[in-house]
Structure 1
Amino acid sequence: MLRFQGKAVMLPDPSCLKKCGDVDIVFPFGIGADCAMEGFNLDCNKTVDGSSHITYYHNAPLMNISLLHGQVRMKNYIQYRCSNHSNGNIIDGSWYLQLSDTPFTFSEHLNMFTVFGVNTLAYMIDSINVLGCLAQSWPYNNLSARDGFCNGVGCCQVALTRNMSYYDVDFSERYKSWISMNGTNRSTTEDAEYCGYAVMIEAAAFEFRTTYLNTTVFWKENAGRVPLILNWVVGNETCEIAKEKAASYACVSNNSMCIDSTNGPGYLCNCTEGYHGNPYLPDGCQDIDECAVNVPRPCPGYCTNTPGNFSCPDQKPPSSSRSGTVLLVVGPSIGVVIAVIAITCTYLIRERKKLADIKQKYFQQHGGLLLLREISLKQGTAFSIFTEADLTEATDKFDDKNILGRGGHGTVYRGVLKDDSLIAIKRCVSMTNEQRKKEFGKEMLILSQINHKNIVKLLGCCLEVEVPMLVYEFIPNGTLFQFIHGDNGCHNIPFTTRLRIALESAQALAYLHSWASPPILHGDVKSSNILLDENYAVKVSDFGASILAPTDKSQFMTVVQGTCGYLDPEYMQTCQLTDKSDVYSFGVVLLELLTGKMAFNLEGPEDERILSLRFLNAIKEDKLMDVVDDRIKIDTDTGLLEEIAELARQCLEIVGERRPAMKDVAEKLDRLSKIMQHPWVAAQPDPEEMESLLGESSVPSLEMIGTANFSMEKRIRGLCKG
């Protein structure tokens, strides 16, 4: 809950500053006591030379405030890592911005996380998500760094996730020392000066130039700061709820209206049509004199301003020339009307053709023609290509009431097709990889042919939009995350149910890795991507955001995305997504089922925020039962719990090669599930009998993991701090 929620609206004192430097200070923002709504306090400080003033929000300079759009433009500090060969110094410049419990979030549509340098890998961490990208050395994949292009060679960008409110950046150690140019390894510090940069920046304000590589040009050009857009809202409820709370309702002006925010919880106030000003102040919305401000005037003759509008009353000509005037006026008027109709029709036809051309461009860009050809060659393929109009109608114009969930990659909507069948539509945030765009249609067809009882069926896609939309079968009972942790979740889940869910999830991932052709890596395994159907059977979802397994180990991802608590440390270091990355993430899901705790809990004690780290420490200290869910350890055989814990530990190995394959994990869980079905389990089985049934030692010695192996986990914990 935002701290200012539900409090009575305070109005500013007339003596409050109206301007600081170049920034107009408009309520709910304010400088000084009793001048701002809670959460909107600003500071006005003198410049270093004392010649002017600068407006600050926290410690960041503010550039302007938009009441209409609910945004502020501020200057973000550039993060960098520079090395100097002459003296051997490595200098890091970093800062973080904490917006949690404030009215502000980073604009997901107007900003991009941008990294540039030679082999520069950097991450941006918020309270939940991990975003990162790798700017490769050049030439790479026969591409060279070019001015104006930020495509992974010398420069890379990644879109933000929704409602991000915490910002911290770190550079990967792996890529700070060596680069490869033309096949020759060479230290980055051989140059007199080398700098890699990472910053969240307003997308429209950045254009990459090759002169930024290995220099401090970018830093000097921008004096260490670049533009950044923040969204803001008042309250964190909808307009409908806010209007019922008269004391705290912020839209206090006459002729004002409430608008639900499109950027997350909360609302904004605007003046109604025909009025302008500040809707957060009494009588702040003033009438617009359309007759005075419009050029040319809205009426050909006399114009009368009215509240919120204007009128064009008929002019009365002299009586002696009435008939002649009528002819003179009516004749040209008819011609003007005909001309206007003709121009309007021509304009509409051109706009319709332009829209059709844009849709066709997107369709071809996303591999639509290749997809159509593949569908025609494969008879009986149950894969549909939907139009934008189909999905707009199915979701009632993507109404918020149909939102099933939001995630780092996009928003999922509930939809109803014309035949009354239910579907789930994923509207993705962005797709920055050009090669991925070209291969998208082909990959979707491959994914649609996945036929496994525990994997959500991909029914089709829409390609005629800038970012393709995916259409899945509808799964009614929500996510595993909600089932375990949600307010309406079934907290008292029996161990047999937890084991079945783990087994079905493992079998689905094992199918993707070992039996799908070609193999598929999920890439975002977490409890919120495991759905439960009407019988609470598992349906692994969101594999449409996954990738086909690379055929060449040299293939790197230039964009790293994941969720704090689930992200494979090795993937963060190498930018190589492998099947063992999915194994690591599944190990975390297994821990959620075993402990009943969330993978990452920002509100917990610092040493308990990351579940995997807490679990590994408990194993190391021989305190496993301290983290096991109390609701299952009473009625469940200790040996079985230790078996599950050991399997989870193996999945969480820091080195990917030491983790088991997903099919081995599934086989182990299947054997444990069969043990549960034996009547003698409740009577504490003989260890030798259990060993015989499993075909291996039932409780292998738990290997102690040294301090070195924890270094990456601790690093992630530091990055994911609140």
Structure 2
Amino acid sequence: MLPMHLLLFFIFAIVLQSVVRGASSLPHPGCPDKCGDVDIVYPFGIGPGCAMEEGFELHCNKSQDGQRNVTYFSNLPVADISLLQGHVRVMSHIASMCHNWSTTYLLDFRGTPFTVSEKENLFTVIGADTLALMAGSRQSAIYVIGCLTQSSPYLAAQEGLCTGVGCCQVALSSSLSYHNISFSDANASDMDGERQCRYAMVVEANKFSFHTAYLNATTFWDEHRGEVPMILNWSVGNETCDVAQNDTASYACRSSNSYCINSTSHSGYLCNCSEGYQGNPYLPGDGGCQDINECALSTPPCPGRCINTQGGFYCQNTKNQSFSHSGAAIISVGLSVTVVTLVIAITCSYLIRERRKLANIKEKYFRQHGGLLLLEQISSGQGTTFTIFTEAELMEATDQFDEKNVLGRGGHGTVYKGTLKNGSAVAIKRCISMTDEQRKKEFGKEMLILSQVNHKNIVKLLGCCLEVEVPMLVYEFIPNGTLFHFIHGSNGSHNIPFSTRLRIAHESALALDYLHSCASPPILHGDVKSSNILLDNNYSAKVSDFGASIVAPTDESQFVTLVQGTCGYLDPEYMQTCQLTDKSDVYSFGVVLLELITGKKALNLEGPESERSLSMRFLCAMKEGRLVDVIDDHIKGEENDGLLEEVADLARQCLEMAGENRPAMRDVAERLDRLRKVMQHPWMQRDPEEMESLLGVREPAVAGVEMVSTMFVMEKSVGLLEFGR
């Protein structure tokens, strides 16, 4: 009997522990429910034991003038909290640059349940000729958004309109957990007058209105006291509803009359009260979701006597016959049998009209995006390998664009893996938006040009879908992921030999040279980076994502006015002029070259400020003669030193500040080709001392450089002898 008693005691202890654990996350009695004008609702709380978890803790402090209490999240004042929508409105700081003072703004929500809402906020810049940038991140993805205002004697800023003159706005590319706002390198001393200022901020779209008085005075700062409203998304937990509901101890929807909703903007979920109930779904019992007394509403739900029930109500007619609101619905359906034929006829007519309307919309988009031109050219024999897909085909290929098929997300759209009916795997890029009307008209023509691109180191564009508002692009599927993950992934760069890195660099340079020199008209990539270089089954480089917006402009009117790209790879000359050239791709390729020889990321927001930019760190090391400090330790060696110096010198030339001083991609490809041939030559396998004796190298300090120079001469000589044969 004793073992049985011990077993029962053990089971009781486990049950008691689970009950205590489940109740430990509930707020303690006496927690404040209000601070200033803000209602504090659980899972948020003020004080120990009042919030559901650490990320939901708020603080109640006196305002700066000491006249009232203010609710704070971190150092941000809270205006209100919405349980239903999963929003918190906070007062965010404004980045500013004036004649004699300036402020920047950094916001970091990493490790908390909060992100900046991409749907509710806009990145906004105020001022004359002002370029402001916002670098942000979500999980491991890094985004950069730029906004450039203009001023002109022919254009004047308009009251209430933020359209680019004196004021510009850009939508956020994702719900960010971190962002940093700063201005370009323009000197504040070039402002007209001491009271002229420039401002940049993330602001709730519905709470901002532009006034021309903001341009020539500090009115904007004075009105808002350096703060503007911003919407944050929040959610509980890190799981979906299906997973969270299986753990009753940690499941946050405590009310018995509540249900779970997956968050659309953040990992985790939200809770809501069931129909017929209202209150706080995160609390059990009387503090949670309570029945709505429909009969006490200002407008009664039924003409007779109303009797309230849990989650609903009953109606009683004048003959004292009672029936529920669900019974009333059944009676209504029964009465509608007499007109069922009419209802069916109306429904069918409506569906036919909607189907025709949808077909007309698809035809409109198809014509608008140049579909007729594409069909004409394909039928005439041009672009015969190019396919025009329907929306239904691509939805079937991606299982209705299911999240499980997402290959990657970027500032311009989302890429999905799909399987066509013939079984072939493809990558489908679903773009975010296309606002330029001229681009829409030229899209079909540009698709025809891109369909002719045929190079072994460029991802093949197989087709597109034109019957949607924003066209979708279909590429061949490349299985081994991106160069970024190859270098910086879990395995790191220690398994990648120098010869493989040199080959990938050469193949990528050949692809860009083809786009610049062999395509007609020339094609500018515009976003060269390691995550846009894919690796096939043999780990050969395939340049991707050269998209639909990169056919070289033929006049100044086609130059973009909004700087877009990836922070860390952006050409500084492009950021100043907003004019994309082939030398912009050369600069970005130089950064990729640095990633290959250093094994480091192009941008490291978590490091010291002096080491955040890989290109700046590399150029400083080159200038100070410290190249060995930045080269990847795994590829250092006597047989590689000379070649590494040559590659580093080539990267330095690509990173010249002035585009005219950078080499063309053809020169870059040819130089990398020569370096590969030198590395593949049998003498590279000889003993270093034997190599020094063979080539007459005497001074170790310059042995690597002399060796490579001699190799180039000998390599050219061998080439001449072979040609003579």
Tell me the TM-score range normalised by the shorter chain: 0.7 to 0.9
SS of residue in 2 equivalent to 1:96? strand
**Deviations, residues 330-354 of structure 1 (Å, cap 9, x unaligned):** 9964456556555555555555555
Hey, what does 2:254 align to over in structure 1? Answer: 252
Query: Structure 2: how far apart are the matches of 1:360 and 1:295?
Result: 49
2:167 maps to which of 148, 152, 155: 155
- Displacement after TM superposition at 1:672 (Å): 0.8
Q: Alignment partner of 1:639: what SS?
A: helix
Q: Could you say which residue in structure 2 is the equivalent of 1:593?
A: 596
Moved more, 332-341 or 401-410: 332-341
Deviates more, 1:664-673 or 1:484-493: 484-493
1:605-616 aligned at under 5 Å gives the runs: 605-616=608-619
Give matches, 1:365-376, under 5 Å: 366-368=369-371, 371=374, 375=378
- Alignment length, in residue pairs? 666
Contact 1:416 1:422 in 2 (8 A): yes
TM (normalized to structure 2)?
Answer: 0.81
**Contact 1:495/1:636 (CA < 8 Å) preserved in 2?**
no
| Aligned partners of 2:383 and 2:448 also within 8 Å | no
Name the counterpart of 1:268. Answer: 270
1:14 aligns with 2:26: no
Asked if 1 retains the 8 angstrom alpha-carbon contact of 2:136 and 2:176, the reply is: yes
* Larger RCO (CA within 8 A; separation ≥ 6): 1
Residue deviations 1:84-117, cap 9 Å, x none? xxxxx44434433222222211122332212233
The structure number with the bigger radius of gyration is 2
Contact 2:100 2:194 in 1 (8 A): no
Contact 1:242 1:249 in 2 (8 A): yes
Structure 1 spans left out of the alignment, 5+ residues: 1-5, 83-88, 179-187, 319-327, 699-722
1:671 to 1:7, Cα distance in 2 relative to 1, 3 A: farther
- The structure that is helix-richer by fraction is 2
Confirm or deny: 8 A CA contact 1:9 1:250 kept in the other structure. no
Letter in 2 for 1:132: G
User: What's the CA shift for 1:639?
Assistant: 0.8
Question: Residue 573 of structure 2: SS of its match in structure 1?
Answer: helix
Q: Is residue 2:105 matched to residue 1:95?
A: yes
Q: CA deviation at 1:667?
A: 0.8
Say which of 278, 281, 284 aligns to 1:282. 284
- Contact residue 138 and residue 145 of structure 1 kept, 8 A: no
The one of 117, 125, 129 equivalent to 2:143 is 129
Deviation at 1:502, TM superposition (A): 0.8
SS at match of 1:547: coil
Q: Find the counterpart in structure 2 of residue 527 from structure 1.
A: 530
SS class of match (2:521): coil
Of residues 93, 96, 100 in structure 2, which corresponds to 1:77? 93
Aligned pair in 2 of structure 1 residues 34, 374: CA closer, same or farther (>3 Å)?
farther
Give me the whole-angstrom Cα distance separating, in 2, the residues matched to 1:678 and 1:61. 66
8 A Cα contact 2:366 2:468, kept in partner: yes
Once residues 476 and 680 of structure 1 are traced to their aligned partners in structure 2, the CA distance between those partners, rounded to angstroms, is 35
By how many angstroms is 1:464 displaced? 4.1
> CA separation in 2, counterparts of 1:418 and 1:307?
52
* Whole-angstrom CA distance in 1 between matches of 2:394 and 2:448: 19
SS, match of residue 637 in structure 1? helix
Q: Which residue does 1:702 correspond to in 2?
A: none
Q: Which amino acid is the alignment partner of residue 148 of structure 2?
A: L
Q: What is the correspondence of 1:29-428 to structure 2 with a 5 Å cutoff?
A: 29-36=44-51, 37-47=53-63, 52-82=68-98, 89-127=99-137, 128-138=142-152, 145-146=157-158, 150-174=162-186, 188-189=191-192, 193-208=195-210, 210=212, 212-219=214-221, 222-243=224-245, 247-272=249-274, 275-283=277-285, 286=289, 288-289=291-292, 292=295, 333-335=336-338, 337=340, 341=344, 344-345=347-348, 348=351, 351-352=354-355, 355-356=358-359, 359=362, 362-363=365-366, 366-368=369-371, 371=374, 375=378, 379-428=382-431
> Partner residue of 2:709?
691
1:8·1:248 contact (CA, 8 Å) conserved in 2? no
Distance change in 2, residues 1:444/1:695 (3 Å): farther
Which of 442, 445, 451 is equivalent to 1:442?
445
- The superposition leaves residues 155-203 of structure 1 with CA deviations (integer Å, 9 ceiling, x where unpaired) of 333232324222332222448666xxxxxxxxx51x6853333222223
Aligned with 1:126: secondary structure? strand
Give CA-to-partner distance per residue, 1:574-618, whole Å, 9 cap, x none. Answer: 322222222222112111111222222334454433322332233
Change (3 A) 1:9 1:367: farther
- Over the matched positions of the two proteins, sequence identity in percent amounts to 65
SS state at 1:666 partner? helix
Alignment of 1:530-569 (within 5 A): 530-544=533-547, 546-552=549-555, 556-569=559-572
Per the TM alignment, residue 278 of structure 1 is displaced from its structure 2 partner at its CA by 2.8
**Does the CA contact (< 8 Å) of 1:120 and 1:175 recur in 2?**
no
Q: What secondary structure is seen at the aligned counterpart in 1 of 2:27?
A: coil
Question: 8 Å contact 1:157–1:559 — kept in the other structure?
Answer: no
Residues 259 and 270 of structure 1 are in contact (CA less than 8 Å); yes or no, is this contact kept in structure 2? yes
Does the CA contact (< 8 Å) of 2:234 and 2:266 recur in 1?
no
Distance 1:655 1:453 in 2: 31
Asked whether 1:462 is paired with 2:494, we answer: no
Query: Offset at 1:509?
Result: 1.2
- Find the aligned partners of 1:215 and 1:361 in 2 and give their Cα distance: 47
TM-fit CA distance, 1:22:
3.6
Q: Secondary structure at the match of 1:582?
A: helix
How far off is 1:629 after superposition? 1.9
Does the CA-based 8 Å contact 2:383-2:451 persist in structure 1?
A: no
Structure 1 pair 380/166, CA: closer, same or farther in 2 (3 Å)?
closer
Equivalent pair of 1:119/1:175 in contact (CA under 8 Å): no
Question: Counterpart amino acid of 1:382?
Answer: T
Give the gaps of 5 or more residues in structure 2. 1-20, 322-330, 696-704, 717-725
Distance of aligned partners of 1:155 and 1:366 in 2 relative to their CA distance in 1, 3 Å threshold: farther
Q: Which moved more, 1:613-622 or 1:104-113?
A: 613-622
Q: TM-score, normalised by structure 1?
A: 0.81
Counterpart of 1:260 in structure 2: which amino acid?
N
